[in-house]
Amino acid sequence: MSSTERWVYERELEARSARGAYSRAAPRYARCTTSTLQWPAAEDYTRGNLLNRKARAAGHDPRSLFSGPAYVAYARASEGLIRFWEDVSPRITLAEFSEKATGVRTDAGETARQSAHAQWLKP
């Protein structure tokens, strides 16, 4: 490999590395911002009733509904919050948000979509 080819190759590696660092950090920050903005809208929509009775009695934090796995969030969410996610502003995971930000579909995003879909089908 000539010195010119090596130089081009190293620049390409640096560019890939920079894109990778951005694509991992930026979606996480943007997702946190989005869920922070979704929180007050959900509280208004549900009149502050974000948790179901069982989750409220167990002392769970309502903010935990906006992060983590869908099956946990749907198990603890009130009917009003589930309606909010379905009708007003969908609940998306970090994996789904990262997919939207980067344009690259992942197995984690697909798992999150399937999990959320399974929760909607529960009686």
Supply the range of the domain harboring residue 92: 3-121
CA distance 70 to 112: 7
Q: Tell me which residue of 74, 59, 67 sits closest to 38, measured CA to CA.
A: 67
pTM for this prediction: 0.62
Is 79 within 8 Å of 87 (Cβ atoms)? no
| 32-50 per-position pLDDT tens digit | 555 667 788 889 999 999 9
Q: What's the length of the chain?
A: 123
Our count of domains for the chain comes to: 1
The per-residue pLDDT for 118 is 64
Residue with tokens 């167990």: 58
Output the pLDDT for position 76: 93
Predicted confidence (pLDDT) per residue in 56-90, tens digit = 999 998 888 887 777 888 899 999 999 998 898 88
